[in-house]
Structure 1
Amino acid sequence: MQPFGDEQPSGNAQPFGTAEADEAPVVVAPDGAEVFPLLDVAGRGSLAVFELAPGDVTRAVSHATVEELWFVTEGRGELWRRQGDREQTVPLAPGTAASIPLGTAFQFRAAEDAEGPLRIAAVTMPPWPGTDSEARPAKGRWEATVR
């Protein structure tokens, strides 16, 4: 019997994927948030967890080819987004979902008085391409504090 999550597909079927956020590698996103890459579905989308320490503010960016759906799982903070003349800042708390449409400038920050990090599960469509040109610097709402 094969281990859980390692089932091999037959024919044109895609393999099952299973991942644990606590066991995922840690990478730093272009905006400065820590990212735990989890799964990729046949080039159509990927899932990762973003984490930002209390009081931290990301760099503002926009994406060249991907868009994202976010779901806050822990912590509190704010998300700022801008498309052309339309601009919005929304609170982030567990249970909040938000979209980052293609080309949207965005930035987020974790509450300074939070007891733990802001954690966001995010689906990226198509999957993050891993290129330096994907995240384009943008003028944000707050001064970034991440390295």
Structure 2
Amino acid sequence: MYVSAEVIAIIIATATLLVTLGGGALAGFAWIVNRMDRIAENASAETRALAAKTEQALAETRALAQRTDEGFAQVRADTQALAARTDQGFAQMRSELQGVRSRLDLVYVELKADVVEMKVAVARMEGPKRTLIVPR
């Protein structure tokens, strides 16, 4: 069988075209893989940097929480001391008010007796009530 030069040229051109397109596709795929690797490395680096910042912020938050807890403990102790002093002051005030109340009770009893005496004295000064019927 005889093959002409044109057929051989077409076959060679087609093979060359297929090799070129296959190589281009392979090169494009390699470029995409390389690009994805660089993006993944950048993302890993950013993730590590963000993790370091997060750890630092967490450490600062823990330190702040510790200081806050210490501050709350101090406020709690101060509040308890103030409450004890306030309770002591109220107890003293209650005892003083109880003394005042007992003195006021004595004064009330004395005043009540004086008012009764005053009523009796006024009644004696006024005399008996007049009647409407006048004797003739």
Higher strand share: 1
Higher RCO (CA-CA < 8 Å; seq separation 6+): 1
User: Is the shorter-chain TM-score for this pair beyond 0.5, marking a shared fold?
Assistant: no
User: Highest CA radius of gyration, 1 or 2?
Assistant: 2
